[in-house]
Amino acid sequence: MRSKNDRPKEWEHTSCWLVRHCGHPTAHTPYYGVTPDGRVLLTGGFDVGAAFQYLEDAQKEVERRARSEGWEEPPTGPLFEPR
The parts of the chain modelled with pLDDT lower than 50 are: 1
Q: Which DSSP symbol is given to 6?
A: G
- Residue 38: its pLDDT value, please? 95
- Residue 7: its pLDDT value, please? 73
Cα angle 81-23-41, degrees, rounded to a multiple of 5: 65
29 class by beta-carbon count within 10 Å (0-12 exposed, 13-18 middle, 19+ buried): middle
Sheet holding 45-46, edge to edge: 45-46, 40-42, 31-34, 18-21, 10-13, 80-82
- Residue 4: its pLDDT value, please? 60
- Residue 63: its pLDDT value, please? 93
Domain boundaries, given as residue ranges, for the chain: 7-71
Assess contact for 31 and 53: CB atoms under 8 A. yes
Residue 11 to residue 49: CA distance in whole angstroms: 21
- Residue 72: its pLDDT value, please? 87
- Residue 77: its pLDDT value, please? 78
